[in-house]
């Protein structure tokens, strides 16, 4: 009996031990499963459309990327992925997620995703737009801001902006009653302003027009190739073959632009050397310091904090001259197109100009702060037609979490500013051109990206460096065009507001309109100075 009793107790103990072991195992399994699920949730990639082996989603991409991405946002949400060959593309389509990338995790997302076109145009990472973030970029940006884009520097170039805008007004007055291409006129203004700021006045009027038009042809082609989907970026194994010819054609374009920059540098250096040797007997010296003079001073002084080479200088010229001429000029073209399309808005803008400037006067930069409706028109233009609709891509330096999804290190991240600024969730009647919305709101919508519903120039440490110049030249040029002339479309021609996608968003058809004199005194059109 005692033996049976012991055996029974032993079985009970074993059963309890078994139950305890089993319970403990189940607890461990449950904890492990929870950890695995949580880890999977934290590390899961955003959703996205299915693709094909090897090439991924490349065959299904619509060339109108901003609209294509907007459709995918509607289907997959404000963050989605595309597999493009061996590369992962993440697209963000909400201000909340844009704020995470450009504010909360700004330092992590400060790098660029290198492309063949970007590296070619940027002289293999010697520029400001396509280079990764680091000490060199910080120093160059600081140098540009201090020497050519600070308030005092821009104030010193006010006479230059006046000269170029007045030259354009005189040119338009000589063409009244005939169609003129607004984009061409603005391109020449921007080219002359930026080149003078960069290396001083070295062209006469005939040279400006001749060289400007030739420069524009090549600049537009550069921007076109920068905005193309290039198979070499997504399947690096094919990059050596340059199947689409992007690298080859860009190098051909740069083979003209590069000597152009070098000739300007050489011409300016010879001029400065002549002034040093003989004195400024003929008034050749530029009283306002341009960027090339700053560069020369740095070279002469052996400035160590800013290691800046001739290659860096040419790359900077490429960024500012090629990028700046088209984006600012495009904004004036879009604004003019919208105003001609909307006579009531045009009428209100003209009433404001007449009240502030007067019909017996010409527009001055000092008038601009007193033209709030004009400012609202420009903001509305950039809302509907942001110059760079997808901004410039960012690339995280480490794997991180955005919106509950993982974005791996090295992924290419785009923010669809075009879609964010047209989202009915954040904007009433978003497709309507309505400048009043910027007068009625208490929110501060500015060009530096403080409100992520409105990011035409990006935000954070990689936002567009040229915003201060845009804030000066765009309203001044637009106000001068509107105040000086009435604008009509050629008979039988309608305003075309359709878009041509690229790294810079343009009108599909360049705006060609007819200027008619609006000011009572013809002498005002000949006026060169205040």
Query: What pLDDT sits at residue 259?
Result: 85
pTM of the model: 0.88
pLDDT for the residue numbered 382? 97
C-alpha pair distances (Å), 378 with each of 330, 382, 383, 421, 487: 11, 6, 9, 14, 18
Residue 10 has pLDDT above 50, yes or no: no
Q: Is 485 helix (H, G, I), strand (E, B) or coil?
A: strand
* Contact yes or no for 246/161 (Cβ under 8 A): no
Residues 6+ apart with CB under 8 A from 524: 360, 361, 362, 484
Closest CA to 293 of 203, 151, 197, 204: 197
Indicate the pairing of strand 79-84 with strand 87-92.
Answer: antiparallel
- List, edge to edge, every strand of the sheet that includes 87-92: 79-84, 87-92, 412-415
Q: Which of 482, 529, 473 is nearest to 356 (CA)?
A: 482
- Residue 459 near residue 102 (C-beta atoms within 8 A): yes
- Asked whether the beta carbons of 81 and 46 are under 8 A apart, the reply is yes
**If you average pLDDT over residues 157-168, what whole number do you get?**
93
Tokens (6 digits) for 44: 């899961």
395 is in an annotated binding site: no
Closest CA to 154 of 519, 468, 491, 487: 468
How many angstroms separate the CA atoms of 122 and 322, rounded?
11
Q: Which segments of 77-204 does DSSP mark as H helices, in order?
A: 95-99, 116-121, 135-147, 151-156, 158-173, 182-199
In a 3-state reduction of DSSP, which class is residue 5?
helix
* Helix, strand, coil content of the chain in percent (nearest 5): 55, 10, 35
Q: Go through the domains of the chain in sequence order and give each one's CATH number.
A: 58-526 (1.10.630.10)
Q: Which H or E element spans position 82?
A: strand 79-84
- Predicted confidence (pLDDT) at residue 16 exceeds the cutoff of 60: no
Q: How far apart are CA 50 and CA 82, in angstroms?
A: 8
Give the pLDDT confidence of 215-237 residue by residue, as tens digits. 888 888 998 999 888 999 999 99
Confidence of residue 283 (pLDDT cuts 50, 70, 90): low
Yes or no: say if 112 and 118 are a contact pair by the CB < 8 Å rule.
Answer: yes
Q: What percent of the chain clears pLDDT 70, i.e. is strictly above it?
A: 86
Condensed to tens digits (0 to 9), the pLDDT of residues 59-89 reads: 999 999 999 999 999 999 999 999 999 999 9
Listed in order, strand segments (DSSP E) in 377-525 are 400-402, 405-407, 412-415, 485-488, 499-500, 506-507, 512-517
């Amino acid at each position: 009996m005692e033996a049976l009793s012991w055996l029974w107790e032993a079985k009970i103990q074993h059963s309890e031990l078994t139950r305890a072991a089993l319970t403990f195992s189940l607890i461990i399994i449950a904890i492990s499963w929870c950890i695995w699920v949580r880890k999977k949730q934290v590390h899961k990639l955003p959703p996205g459309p299915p693709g094909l082996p090897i090439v991924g989603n490349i065959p299904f991409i619509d060339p109108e990327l901003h609209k294509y991405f907007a459709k995918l946002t509607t289907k997959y949400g404000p963050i989605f992925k595309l597999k493009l060959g061996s590369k992962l593309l993440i697209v963000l389509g909400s201000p909340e997620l844009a704020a995470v990338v450009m504010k909360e995790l700004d330092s992590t997302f400060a790098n660029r995703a290198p492309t063949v076109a970007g590296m070619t145009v940027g002289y293999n990472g010697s520029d400001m737009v396509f280079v990764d973030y680091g000490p060199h970029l910080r120093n160059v940006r600081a140098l540009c801001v201090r020497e050519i884009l600070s308030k005092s520097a821009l104030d010193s170039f006010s006479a230059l902006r006046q000269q170029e805008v007045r030259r354009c007004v005189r040119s338009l007055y000589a063409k009244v009653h005939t169609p003129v291409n607004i984009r061409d006129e603005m391109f020449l203004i921007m080219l002359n302003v930026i080149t003078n700021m960069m290396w001083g006045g070295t062209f006469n009027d005939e040279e400006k027009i001749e060289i400007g038009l030739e420069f524009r042809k090549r600049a537009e082609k550069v921007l076109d190739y920068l905005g193309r989907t290039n198979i070499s970026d997504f399947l690096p194994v094919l990059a050596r073959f340059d199947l689409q010819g992007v690298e080859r054609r860009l190098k051909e374009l740069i083979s003209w632009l590069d000597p152009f920059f070098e000739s300007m540098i050489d011409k300016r250096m010879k001029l400065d050397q002549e002034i040093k040797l003989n004195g400024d007997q003929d008034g050749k010296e530029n009283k306002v310091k341009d960027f090339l003079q700053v560069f020369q001073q740095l070279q002469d002084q052996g400035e160590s904090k800013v290691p800046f080479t001739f290659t860096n200088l040419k790359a900077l010229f490429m960024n500012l001259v090629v990028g700046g001429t088209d984006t600012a000029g495009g904004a004036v073209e879009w604004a003019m197109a919208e105003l001609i399309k909307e006579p009531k808005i045009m009428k209100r803008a003209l009433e404001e100009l007449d009240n502030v400037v007067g019909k017996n006067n010409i527009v001055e930069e000092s008038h601009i702060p007193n033209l709030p409706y004009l400012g609202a028109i420009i903001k509305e233009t950039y809302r509907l037609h942001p110059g760079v609709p997808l901004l410039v891509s960012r690339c995280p330096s480490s794997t991180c979490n955005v919106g509950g999804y993982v974005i791996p290190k090295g992924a290419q991240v785009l923010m669809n500013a075009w879609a964010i600024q047209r989202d009915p969730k954040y904007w009433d009647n978003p497709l309507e051109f309505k400048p009043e919305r910027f007068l009625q709101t208490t929110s501060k919508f500015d060009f530096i990206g403080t409100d992520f519903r409105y990011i035409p120039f990006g935000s954070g440490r990689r936002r567009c460096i040229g915003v201060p110049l845009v804030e000066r030249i765009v309203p001044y040029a637009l106000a001068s065009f509107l105040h000086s002339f009435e604008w009509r479309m050629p008979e039988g021609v309608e305003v075309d507001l359709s878009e041509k996608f690229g790294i810079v968003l343009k009108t599909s058809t360049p705006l060609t309109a007819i200027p008619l004199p609006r000011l009572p005194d013809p002498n005002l059109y000949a006026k060169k100075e205040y």
